[in-house]
Structure 1
């Protein structure tokens, strides 16, 4: 077949040059569903877990699940509905219609109304069905009032451009699958690091862990004695602050010092009064304290009136104060005093009434702060790696597919 430039992706594996052709999913994979198992047959100690649509919410399904179980002894049913081997599952009912997930578990069986695809190019088929176009099309085709659903035929009839040769499909699928596994592993590493940080915060601030050489009991001190809450509100329309950054609660990720979508005062076209802050000041979101939005200012700027600018006084280290905001004790206090009618908010008097429990030694405070910052730096570096991998995946999808 002559090469058709309109049906050739930008990036090809060496040795492949034929134009891609339109094919239906039913031509690329065997499409079927499970069995309508009777609820009366379920048993809490059944050997097989029954996989249903509710189990499909992400690219991978955990093999450790709580749900209905069943005993099956008929070898024909076991062979037909067992989810051993590699399977691509598709949600056919409910709010997650069109969501797909790879799954393999010899101790699980498939329920009716869950799509199951098997193929010699399953990784490639997974990439096709993981893209937004497939999800959108399945939702467009879905019918029903209370509960939407799609059919096996609608899944089978979904058509896309694909390589003519099975070997090229397999190469593309395997390459992207390896990248997906790396992305998933990186996300798991981030999750593990965040859990480790949470444990470190707990142990360091409840003093169950102490650095060597420190044993003096910690002291209880009033917030107002150790922390200043800036009242330096300025007019952002004067032009004096145009080049400075502006930070509002929407720019701060919950439970993270990460800032997103920062713009200058001029770009934000601010008109109402804002708090001025210096580099290193702590910005704390006073609205909805349950969201735990706080950060350390990376440069001079202005912050929203929905934030407080916190400045440590003598007796408390800046990083120690910053990480205090992430402790369970502080979180529970701010949430408890902000639960009023309307928008939850913590006011200055409530903050000033809070009692900090601090290490009497500034050197111990500093060590705690620096130790936790190293953990945050590692989390940030891993998140940066994840973002790079996701950008690479996006780029490959654009170049490897038509």
Structure 2
């Protein structure tokens, strides 16, 4: 951005007029919410916004509310279009955030500063300005307190903000970020819905303890499941546990750490590590094969993923490796079972360690795996693969859109 030219780095093509600076106190009225705390919340009643919502469920524009209270005579209600800023918070950075209350007749609880901007200022644009960039830094510097910090309406009134001279440009910027938030929210809702379906199916598609038939199973399959010990269906070994930092390289043979293993997938987005090829070849007996199931030994114990073509030939670092007997058990099915609460609870209960849990091999050997026929295993594995692919797709879109949003927030304001 250029402070001299008073224009942001990124701008919509149709706008050319320079931005200008104004003091918020000269262009807005201020008030405060009244009373109410979390202890006043009820299941049904009048809708209310408490200041904590701006931390736990932040939205630039609040269009609906899922918290309620029994209304009293001193309540302060929204008229629609005001901007609310928390009056207290845990840190200066956290407290400098603002939301627009789009609907009227919503109670505004205590510890909320309320801004009623003049017709010169678009409410959504103002909320964005307060929550990002230069104005956020200035407001954060005004926060008073130690364990709990406070922002007063007088601090907001003193705030100087840069904004487009043309109201239509303010509106265009506000609308742009509203659409981004709407897309992010749509993907988040689909992601959460699919994740809930997955959780429910993981609970219902495996027999409960003491039972031999699951609550839900695919059409065409019948008969009781059997239990087999993990050592009867897979070859088990541990990944390398030796010190190997001197063999780390920027490229070479991929090293899979416990932290890289997620539920039915791998995530190498954070500082992937590779091993010197000569060192890896010297430990060729630890190289992973297509279809191996890798389980977290330290940390989020029990979480597992299947080695695909992308990870084939890599080496695990202190991970538990199961190499399934393909005539008895399907790799995807085994990974799905490892990620159920049945197995995760078993892993947690037998784990040792004070800080980070350790799932020891001697305990892993005691694990029994519920087994349907191989064709039913394959159907279950395929189902959860498809479900995971959809969940991951929405997560990727959420991440992508959030990255776009953050980049634009840093470049579309002065």
TM over 0.5: yes
Task: Decide which moves more: 382-391 or 366-375.
Answer: 382-391
Contact 2:293 2:335 in 1 (8 A): yes
Aligned residue in 1 for 2:12: 13
| Structure-2 separation of matches of 1:324 and 1:397 | 42
Aligned residue in 2 for 1:94: 89
Matched, 1:22 2:21: yes
Aligned residue in 1 for 2:228: 221
User: How many Å apart are 1:124 and its aligned residue?
Assistant: 0.9
User: How many Å apart are 1:266 and its aligned residue?
Assistant: 4.4
Matched, 1:368 2:380: yes
Matched, 1:244 2:257: no
Aligned residue in 1 for 2:334: 321
User: How many Å apart are 1:151 and its aligned residue?
Assistant: 1.0
Aligned residue in 2 for 1:282: 293
Normalised by the length of structure 1, the TM-score is: 0.83
Task: Decide which moves more: 82-91 or 186-195.
Answer: 82-91
Q: Could you say what secondary structure the match of 2:89 adopts?
A: coil
User: How many Å apart are 1:363 and its aligned residue?
Assistant: 0.8
Aligned residue in 2 for 1:188: 189
Contact 1:320 1:368 in 2 (8 A): yes
Contact 2:37 2:50 in 1 (8 A): no
| Structure-2 separation of matches of 1:240 and 1:389 | 32
Aligned residue in 1 for 2:53: 55
Which deviations, in whole Å up to 9, do the C-alpha atoms of 1:329-364 show, x marking residues without a partner?
1111111111554532111111110111111x1111
Matched, 1:85 2:85: no
User: How many Å apart are 1:316 and its aligned residue?
Assistant: 0.7
Which deviations, in whole Å up to 9, do the C-alpha atoms of 1:139-182 show, x marking residues without a partner?
33221244321111212323232111212111111121111111
| Structure-2 separation of matches of 1:18 and 1:365 | 65
Normalised by the length of structure 2, the TM-score is: 0.81
User: How many Å apart are 1:324 and its aligned residue?
Assistant: 0.6
Contact 1:32 1:152 in 2 (8 A): yes
After the TM superposition, list the runs of 4 or more consecutive aligned residues in structure 1 that deviate by more than 6 angstroms: 37-40, 238-241
User: How many Å apart are 1:391 and its aligned residue?
Assistant: 2.8
Give the CA RMSD over aligned residues.
3.5
Which deviations, in whole Å up to 9, do the C-alpha atoms of 1:31-89 show, x marking residues without a partner?
3311246999x6969953553322321323661126x53332xxxx56xx212523432
Which deviations, in whole Å up to 9, do the C-alpha atoms of 1:267-298 show, x marking residues without a partner?
99x99x895323442221111345x5432333
In structure 2, the CA distance between the partners of 1:28 and 1:248, relative to structure 1 (3 Å rule), is: farther
Q: Could you say what secondary structure the match of 1:83 adopts?
A: coil
- Structure 1, unpaired ranges of 5+: none
Which deviations, in whole Å up to 9, do the C-alpha atoms of 1:358-393 show, x marking residues without a partner?
11x111100110111001111111122222222332
Task: Decide which moves more: 315-324 or 189-198.
Answer: 189-198
Contact 1:59 1:102 in 2 (8 A): no
Contact 1:337 1:346 in 2 (8 A): yes
